[in-house]
Amino acid sequence: MVKWLVAFGVLLSSVSVIVVLKQAWIARTRRGGQFDDFLASFGPEEHPVDVQRAVFECLRGRLWVKFPVRASDSVEREFGIVGEDLDDAVRSIAQACGRDPVPSDRRILTLADLVSVVAGFPPRGSGTGGARA
């Protein structure tokens, strides 16, 4: 049993190291990094700017991401955000931009997906939200 726990701990540490190395590589190879650069990385579809700003600020502020973020960035590969951490981030971002998180079966693979999911939440106090995402 102890061997399995040690192996699991090594695996988790390895995944963390991979995420940190990937972030360092991205920081060296990307230019920009301001909010306008993040906005420009989205396609022509309309997204609420308040949601985009909340995602950007969550990553750059709360998660201390030190590299330019793009709409196509994978929440798992580039940021290591999965499972309950992703659920917490969705709730935090929804709260930051005045929306009520509601259950969604949409998969969140990229930052663009995250923006789309949160943008689909009703405004806080509209009487249609309040459930957990």
Domain limits of the chain?
A: 2-119
Q: What share of the chain is helix, strand, coil (3-state, %, to 5)?
A: 55, 5, 45
State yes or no: pLDDT of 44 exceeds 70. Answer: yes
What is the mean predicted confidence (pLDDT) over 83-98? Answer: 93
Spatial separation of the C-alpha atoms in residues 126 and 102, rounded to whole Å: 12
What is the mean predicted confidence (pLDDT) over 51-77? Answer: 86
Judge contact between 46 and 117, C-beta under 8 A: no
pLDDT tens sequence across 93-131? 999 999 999 988 899 999 999 999 999 999 988 765 554
- Provide the token pair at 28: 């060296």
List C-alpha distances in Å: 119 to 12, 26, 27, 57, 94.
32, 27, 28, 16, 8
Contacts of 108 (CB under 8 A, 6+ apart): 75, 86, 90, 114, 117
pTM of the model: 0.73
pLDDT tens sequence across 1-39? 656 555 545 544 555 666 666 566 555 565 667 888 899
Angle at 119 between CA 118 and CA 123, to 5 degrees: 95
